[in-house]
Structure 1
Amino acid sequence: MHLRLIVPSDRSTRVLNALVDDARVTSIVLLPGAAHRPAGDVLECDVTREATSDVLSWLKIQGLYDEGSVAVTEVGATPSRNARAAEEAAPGAPDDAVIWDAVVDQAYNETSGSWVYYTFLTLATMIASVAVVTDSSILVVGAMVVGPEFGVVAALAVGLALRRHGLSIRAVVLLLKGFLLAIAVTALAALLARAVGWVDTAAVTAARPLTGFIWRPDRWSAVVAVLAGCAGVLSQTAGRANALVGVFISVTTVPAAGDLALSMALWAPGQIGGAAAQLGINLAGMTIAGVVTLILQRLIWRAYLARRHPPSANPAQFGQEDGCSNRSA
């Protein structure tokens, strides 16, 4: 991971020496007086993923989060001997390390409630409603992929696992507002479609061999939601975003919302309860699985670090704790 730091001048030497003395840090560059907002020295370095939370936690103690600046980006490739030596000095595997500050920061970003989030969720729900009318499994998959709700569910899991109540409340409120808006807009669109003769109640209540599972949840709905929640959180904490596509097309949140909107608008009471249950089961299953996954990751990593400390030249500088910023809602 690449760190770009703005360090107050009175702490620049201390931070520089600490980074130089740590075998898990390499490619260290200092530009004295180069920063203007905030003012200070610019310091850049590459840190192994396993040590990043450790280093960030120490930098927070030094006041860089409040009086300086910290930016973290992922390095695509480091084909150098120095980088390999730094990696060998760090314990564990990169995928096993969680950069908690990045996880928390991403969670707050996911709960910002942008108009783009509401738009994508509404569009996905409307696509799902068309899938119900046409009994199209392809459109169901499309709606799942377009839906942006998993990021907010993951943020809720982070808030619960790390006991950040403000973050948890933001995530719950955004989920409620997002799905209420998406269902309301989709229901209005369904009423308009009925008014012009495009759909009727029979389109919802007819036999749907390809999409009938949406409003008929069973034990496997909960199993898939739990498995998808575990996979989704792991993909985010391990930096494997490519796995999220599989998570999107595994859960039935958006399709259930689309079915629920249609059932209420065209009045198919026999499906309202089932669609609502499917939506609730998926959201609850993913959240619970995400919380458990995050807690286990913290416990496993702490246990590993307790057995093996990295060979740092100055181990007192960086404590072996998983850092996590004090950002509040």
Structure 2
Amino acid sequence: MRHVEVSLRPQTREPVLAVLDSERIDYTVVPADDDSEYDALVSFTLPKNAVEVVLDELEEAGLGEDDHTVIVTADTVISRKFGALKQRYTKTLDDERLARHELYAESEGLMSTLPVYVTLTLVSAIVATAGLLLDSAAVVVGSMVIAPLIGPALAASVGTVLNEHDLFWTGVTYQLLGVGIAIAGAATFAWLSKSLFLVPPGIDVVEIDEVSERVLPNLLSLFVAFGAGIAGVLSLSTGVSVALVGVMIAAALIPPAAAAGIAIAWGVPNAAVGSLILVFVNLLGVNITGLFTLWAMGYRPHIRAETGIARQLVRRRLVVFTIVILVLSTFLVGVTWASYERASLENDVTTEAEAVLDSPAYQDVSLVEVELFLEEGLLFEPAIRLEEGTLLEQPERIVITVEQPADDDHPELASELDDRISTEIGDDVTVHVRFVEYDTA
């Protein structure tokens, strides 16, 4: 519920009161002081979903910015007339949304001052970098909580649909500044951690689980950004707390930015490129879904004549964002396909190895592990080989680990597995068999 107080000029008093009477809205009028530029103060209470409709009617009757309108949240209203007014409005999702005036104020209020925004973003990036290097999901989640990124992301979308250019450009500037600060801060902190030996020397940061999933993201990562954008807009436009949703938006941006900084500090350019692509794809994903959701919910500019301009802006930016996302997503598609190829290949090799071991001659032999390797003993990674940037490279060596009793001997198993697997996958690949022997006490 919203309580509205309007200080009316002499020329707008009667038209405004006439609208309130026609809408059967209960109101009170208090005459203004003789030395005031206003004639009277009128106050009334509305259901949240009625604010925009009533204010639009009042503006058509003459209410303008020369009058003084204040809208505040009302916790409780005891009135028979208000109950009847509330029942006149349906309970659909669109009717639960805030008025455009409140939406603008809420999105503007989510924007921190520049010093606070820069400081919180920098701290968040440093904490996320530490969490990635520690391989600690809890620390990474903590970094998302303090990231102030939801305000700029939503402000840019609100500024577009309401044709508020200042709000839009402020949101865009803050977003780009935040991403830049996060990446630079993460790279600096990671370099210091490496130089001061805060992490073990010689560590392969790309192999850390929390890092690897951000430097080699697949297409599913994009849907995290889409969900964050939709949830952010719905939480803002319906008056629900945006604190938790802000964590989701930060989850799409801060950890990838921190991973990019780590890759830069360790001098792994291909890993840095993968993380940077994920950052910007997620950033665009949040903005495109936020923009689309606001427009679908019916938000339009305050001045009706600007609706056509806003529609063109929305279409143009949706098209541009979509094209850029499609271009950047080719990397995600490649990684996703490569992951599928790797899983399929591992499954085929495992199936063939198990088929061989199902023979009665190997009833005491069990399969332990299947590993795929590139040349020089590097673990096979078909998604991308970060050292050289090769994509979808086929394995050159397959190592199959089996377990057997210490008193068993199966010298023919290696050649049998080699023939079976080479025939199945159709590649010139070397099959090695590693035997693990055990005794039973």
| TM-score, normalised with respect to structure 2 | 0.61
The answer to whether structure 1 residue 41 and structure 2 residue 40 are counterparts is yes
Shifted more, 150-159 versus 96-105: the winner is: 96-105
Cross-structure match for 1:75: 74
Instruction: Show structure 2 runs of 5+ residues with no match.
Output: 307-441
**Secondary structure of the corresponding residue to residue 78 of structure 1:** coil
> Offset at 1:204?
6.3
Deviations 1:67-113 (A, max 9, x none): 12222222223354332211012344475344112212333444575
The answer to whether structure 1 residue 100 and structure 2 residue 100 are counterparts is yes
Cross-structure match for 1:324: 302
The answer on whether the counterparts of 2:133 and 2:205 sit within 8 Å (CA) in structure 1 is no
> Offset at 1:298?
0.9
Cross-structure match for 2:147: 147
Instruction: Show structure 1 runs of 5+ residues with no match.
Output: 300-321
Report the CA distance shift for 1:161/1:262 in structure 2 as closer, same or farther (over 3 A).
Answer: same
Deviations 1:14-33 (A, max 9, x none): 3233223313x33x222211
Shifted more, 251-260 versus 262-271: the winner is: 262-271
- What letter corresponds to residue 266 of structure 2 in structure 1? L
- What letter corresponds to residue 70 of structure 2 in structure 1? A
- What letter corresponds to residue 256 of structure 1 in structure 2? P
**Secondary structure of the corresponding residue to residue 2 of structure 1:** strand
- What letter corresponds to residue 13 of structure 2 in structure 1? S
Cross-structure match for 1:209: 209
- Provide the C-alpha distance between the structure 2 equivalents of 1:44 and 1:88, rounded to a whole number of angstroms: 20
- Provide the C-alpha distance between the structure 2 equivalents of 1:232 and 1:197, rounded to a whole number of angstroms: 40
The answer on whether the counterparts of 1:144 and 1:252 sit within 8 Å (CA) in structure 2 is no
- Provide the C-alpha distance between the structure 2 equivalents of 1:266 and 1:226, rounded to a whole number of angstroms: 31
> Offset at 1:200?
6.6
- Provide the C-alpha distance between the structure 1 equivalents of 2:241 and 2:162, rounded to a whole number of angstroms: 22
Cross-structure match for 1:296: 296
Note the aligned Cα RMSD (angstroms).
3.0
- Provide the C-alpha distance between the structure 1 equivalents of 2:51 and 2:203, rounded to a whole number of angstroms: 54
**Secondary structure of the corresponding residue to residue 76 of structure 2:** coil
Cross-structure match for 1:316: none
The answer on whether the counterparts of 2:15 and 2:62 sit within 8 Å (CA) in structure 1 is no
The answer to whether structure 1 residue 228 and structure 2 residue 206 are counterparts is no
Report the CA distance shift for 1:184/1:155 in structure 2 as closer, same or farther (over 3 A).
Answer: same
Cross-structure match for 1:16: 17
The answer on whether the counterparts of 1:157 and 1:168 sit within 8 Å (CA) in structure 2 is yes
Report the CA distance shift for 1:85/1:143 in structure 2 as closer, same or farther (over 3 A).
Answer: same
The answer to whether structure 1 residue 55 and structure 2 residue 54 are counterparts is yes
- Provide the C-alpha distance between the structure 1 equivalents of 2:205 and 2:185, rounded to a whole number of angstroms: 21
- Provide the C-alpha distance between the structure 2 equivalents of 1:128 and 1:248, rounded to a whole number of angstroms: 13
Deviations 1:169-205 (A, max 9, x none): 2221111122223332333333333333213775562
Cross-structure match for 1:174: 174
- Provide the C-alpha distance between the structure 2 equivalents of 1:37 and 1:191, rounded to a whole number of angstroms: 63
Cross-structure match for 2:438: none
Deviations 1:217-248 (A, max 9, x none): 21111112112211110111111225x51452
Alignment of 1:115-130 (within 5 A): 115-130=115-130
- What letter corresponds to residue 267 of structure 1 in structure 2? G
- Provide the C-alpha distance between the structure 2 equivalents of 1:246 and 1:281, rounded to a whole number of angstroms: 19
> Offset at 1:39?
4.3
Cross-structure match for 2:316: none
> Quick one: higher RCO (CA 8 Å, sep 6+), 1 or 2?
1
- Provide the C-alpha distance between the structure 2 equivalents of 1:53 and 1:287, rounded to a whole number of angstroms: 24
- Provide the C-alpha distance between the structure 1 equivalents of 2:109 and 2:28, rounded to a whole number of angstroms: 29
Cross-structure match for 1:199: 199
> Offset at 1:56?
2.1
Cross-structure match for 1:302: none
Shifted more, 80-89 versus 226-235: the winner is: 80-89
Cross-structure match for 2:134: 134
**Secondary structure of the corresponding residue to residue 42 of structure 2:** strand
| TM-score, normalised with respect to structure 1 | 0.80
- What letter corresponds to residue 48 of structure 2 in structure 1? R
Aligned residues: 302
> Offset at 1:163?
4.1
- Provide the C-alpha distance between the structure 1 equivalents of 2:63 and 2:187, rounded to a whole number of angstroms: 49
Report the CA distance shift for 1:184/1:206 in structure 2 as closer, same or farther (over 3 A).
Answer: closer
The answer on whether the counterparts of 1:136 and 1:211 sit within 8 Å (CA) in structure 2 is no
> Offset at 1:134?
0.5
- What letter corresponds to residue 23 of structure 2 in structure 1? D
- Provide the C-alpha distance between the structure 1 equivalents of 2:226 and 2:64, rounded to a whole number of angstroms: 35
Report the CA distance shift for 1:75/1:35 in structure 2 as closer, same or farther (over 3 A).
Answer: farther
- Provide the C-alpha distance between the structure 2 equivalents of 1:125 and 1:277, rounded to a whole number of angstroms: 17
> Offset at 1:252?
2.0
| Percent identity of paired positions between Structure 1 and Structure 2 | 23
Report the CA distance shift for 1:63/1:125 in structure 2 as closer, same or farther (over 3 A).
Answer: farther
The answer on whether the counterparts of 1:113 and 1:174 sit within 8 Å (CA) in structure 2 is no
Cross-structure match for 1:281: 281
The answer to whether structure 1 residue 245 and structure 2 residue 262 are counterparts is no
Cross-structure match for 2:392: none
Bigger Rg over Cα = 2
The answer on whether the counterparts of 2:135 and 2:208 sit within 8 Å (CA) in structure 1 is yes
- Provide the C-alpha distance between the structure 1 equivalents of 2:123 and 2:264, rounded to a whole number of angstroms: 18
- What letter corresponds to residue 232 of structure 2 in structure 1? G
Cross-structure match for 2:83: 84
Report the CA distance shift for 1:206/1:97 in structure 2 as closer, same or farther (over 3 A).
Answer: closer
Deviations 1:253-286 (A, max 9, x none): 0111122222223323232112111111211111
- Provide the C-alpha distance between the structure 2 equivalents of 1:77 and 1:115, rounded to a whole number of angstroms: 38
